[in-house]
Structure 1
Amino acid sequence: MLKEKVETKERVLDAAVSLFQIKGFNGTSVREIAKKAGVNVANISYYFDGKEGLLEYIVTKFFEGYIKEMDKVWRSFQNRPVRECFGQMLFHVMKYQHEHREVARVIYRELSVDTTFIREIMSTYLTKEKYYLKMLLELGMKRKEFRHVSVSFTIMQLKGMMTMPYLHQQYAAEVLHVLTHEEYFVTKYTSELQQWINEHICLPCTPLQLVVK
């Protein structure tokens, strides 16, 4: 029975993500999700408390994993160069997004819509993301590995570049000649981020090295 419940929830989640990608959250009905998942409409209310609860579950699950990747790198930091930790954190975040790219596309599109729910997400998980990036940037400047830059503006630039492939997939493909679903994408895109960081953040004597592991 437990296995059946898990499988039902997974079918509903997969159906919701697929439809949200195509029609958007507001353009998708609960009945459409239930039909695609092959379940009764009541199952969605039972497991997720409706469409809003379903989106909340998807966003929360995604960002819990996202922040866990950042936290894992931060905890293993110790006394290594800040630039190495910074590069590894970006790589792991990009890898995580790549592994959950369908969900990432849905979430980043919904984050562009100003709603009470989205503002709540902005004040929790994205605040945690800002904390890690801010700590690394400030520590890098203190240790004279990074230039003195505007921390807030640099974080905004980084966030824009980290989400860009999932908001503008076709444009990323035209510029980089690689699609987000291809395995090589993570290494290719992170190497481009590395080059930008070396030019705009790292001091010339402390270039960032991409650590792929």
Structure 2
Amino acid sequence: MQAKRVNQASGNKTKDAVVHSALKLFTMSGYDGVSVRAIASDAGVNVALVSYYFGGKQGLLEYLMAAFFEGYLSTLEDTEQIVMENKSAADCLTELADQLIRYQQHAFYLSRFVHREMTFDNQLVRELMSSYLIKEKFLFINLFQHLFHEQSLRPIQLEFAIIHYRDLIIQPFLQPQYFREVFFMQPSEPSFRIQYLRFINEWACGLDRRLQRA
């Protein structure tokens, strides 16, 4: 039994090393610019182990993408249930943004890589959109309809508001280099999150006022 536990721990350590190396190399060189051999070499493992754990480079990519979205949607679902209780629309949207930004800061390189990959048009991206991102859309619609139920939003108003809100949350991690090099901001830093959330709160307050007048 003890030997079995040791083998499991060793296997998990090897798997984690492969994931860490793959993410690092994918971030530096892009998915197409990295070979399985390079990943194995960086992780210090046999090439065959990449196929053993993930079924190859494509399986490793799918693992990384799914890991990000599982954590992201879990954060969205858990936070949404809390913030919808006795909070103003602006405070609710700000607190949810806070938790989603924290999640992406904690998994900064994974977030950056996944968001970049999602800009490509391929079978995997289409599958992720039809599963994870459709669920994300449903959760956002549920939230916005709850927060703005008195405003009788037209579908197009609701959808544009959600797209804009989501873009505020995702953009710093899709284009962190743009934030750093052009505006000298560091999306991975806690100080950025604090300042950025002040702006998101102002945006949410303005959205609430505009929808009330609509």
TM-score bucket (shorter structure): 0.7 to 0.9
Matched, 1:92 2:105: no
Question: Post-superposition shift, 1:68?
Answer: 0.8
- Structure 1 vs Structure 2 CA RMSD: 2.4
Question: Post-superposition shift, 1:196?
Answer: 2.0
The aligned counterpart of 2:16 is 10
Q: Residues 71-86 of structure 1: matches in 2 within 5 Å?
A: 71-76=77-82, 77-86=84-93
The C-alpha deviation readout for 1:92-132, integer Å capped at 9, x for no partner, is 00110010010011101100010101111011111121112
| Whole-angstrom distance in 1 between the partners of 2:11 and 2:44 | 13
Q: Residues 1-213 of structure 1: matches in 2 within 5 Å?
A: 1-76=7-82, 77-144=84-151, 150-173=157-180, 177-199=184-206, 201-203=207-209
The C-alpha deviation readout for 1:179-205, integer Å capped at 9, x for no partner, is 122221222222222222222x1127x
State how many pairs are aligned: 205
More displaced 10-residue stretch of structure 1: 27-36 or 135-144: 135-144
Structure with higher Rg: it is 2
Q: Whose helix fraction is larger, Structure 1's or Structure 2's? A: 2
- Aligned-partner residue type, residue 43 of structure 1: L
Residues 1:45 and 1:127: Cα distance change in structure 2 (over 3 Å): same
SS of alignment partner, residue 161 of structure 1: helix
Residues 1:84 and 1:145: Cα distance change in structure 2 (over 3 Å): farther
Question: Post-superposition shift, 1:140?
Answer: 2.1
Unaligned runs of 5+ in 1: 207-213
Conserved in 2, the CA contact under 8 Å of 1:164 and 1:172?
no
Residues 1:175 and 1:190: Cα distance change in structure 2 (over 3 Å): farther
The C-alpha deviation readout for 1:57-115, integer Å capped at 9, x for no partner, is 11111111111111112222334434433221111001100100100111011000101
Conserved in 2, the CA contact under 8 Å of 1:134 and 1:155?
yes
Residues 1:93 and 1:145: Cα distance change in structure 2 (over 3 Å): farther
TM-score (norm 2): 0.86
Question: Post-superposition shift, 1:51?
Answer: 0.7
Unaligned runs of 5+ in 2: 1-6
The alignment-based identity, stated in percent, is 32
TM-score (norm 1): 0.87
| Whole-angstrom distance in 2 between the partners of 1:161 and 1:27 | 30
